[in-house]
Amino acid sequence: MIQSLSSRVHGQHLVQDVVMPAIISHFQDPQPNKALVISLQGETGTGKNFVSQLVAEAVFKKGLTSKYIRKFIASVDFKLMNETDIYKVELADKIRESVMACERSMFIFDEVHMMAPELLNALKPFVDSHTEIHGVDYRKATFLFLSNAGTTAIRKFVLDWLTAGKQRADITLEDMEGRVAAGAFEEKGGLKNSDLIKHALVDLFVPFLPMERKHIELCARDALASKGVIPDPAIIKRVADTKVYEPQDNPVFATQGCRNVAAKVNVSSPVNPV
């Protein structure tokens, strides 16, 4: 699992250092104090969904298709704000059903920044330190929250760090976690004002760092390899050149990270029809 992250997820050493050990430790603990709750935060294209997929594949043979993994996408599953009360009941029922079937169930919430705090409040009993709720013990479950909250703070910190001549790989979770958590506390929507924040029920806030050109090139290389094509430096450079880099006065970070890189590779290196 750790090897998959180090070889397939680029530019996110904090994820490799923190997420996998936390998951492994929780699964090896025969009696955890509470469900594991990890908030993965950062801008689009930095790998949050990909990491959740790799975690799912490492934990369950069928990965995201396992019946013991429930994934919720805010813009799809909770899109009607006036239906929040209904969603709360349905969500609680789905969590209960899943944990009754498998105590190690995993729940992935994507686009948490778009969820109503009231809906997130419905999760509080399941991630708190209760030995059981109506005969069901939820403490061995895992909850992953994927959010864009904190993006501005993350980007500013990394830019200041690099501008000061420091190495990206030297950034630690201690350097950033407070800033990332503040993004969840302060930015509108999602975790802000939720009981999960008020009662300190999120165990880890893990930042996904903005992607640099070298990371875009690695993503392009992987996309070519996945097609069975020997990575061509010219194609990799051409794909990286198509990305927009910010800020304007110091264009270090690729907007939207590795999002759409695979599509750009397909255009640059189309598969010959059979």
pLDDT digits (tens, 9 = 90+) for 161-190: 999 999 999 999 998 877 777 766 666 666
- Given a contact cutoff of 8 angstroms between Cβ atoms, the answer to whether 22 and 38 are in contact is yes
Over residues 48-63, the pLDDT tens digits come to 999 999 999 989 999 9
pLDDT bucket at 266, cuts 50 / 70 / 90: confident
- Given a contact cutoff of 8 angstroms between Cβ atoms, the answer to whether 148 and 187 are in contact is no
Q: What are phi and psi of 39, to 5 degrees?
A: -105, 115
Check residue 111 and give its pLDDT: 95
Pair type for strands 253-254 and 245-246: antiparallel
Check residue 267 and give its pLDDT: 83
Check residue 2 and give its pLDDT: 55
Mean pLDDT of 95-120: 95
Report the amino acid identity of residue 123.
Answer: L
d(C-alpha 60, C-alpha 188), whole Å: 34
Contacts of 203 (CB under 8 A, 6+ apart): 22, 36, 37, 38
Check residue 272 and give its pLDDT: 47
**Residue ranges of the chain assigned to CATH 3.40.50.300:** 2-207
pLDDT bucket at 128, cuts 50 / 70 / 90: very high
Architecture category of domain 2-207 in CATH: 3-Layer(aba) Sandwich (3.40)
Closest CA to 258 of 242, 270, 269, 271: 242
Query: What rounded mean pLDDT belongs to the chain?
Result: 91
Over residues 142-151, the pLDDT tens digits come to 999 999 988 8
Paired strand residues for 41 = 147, 207
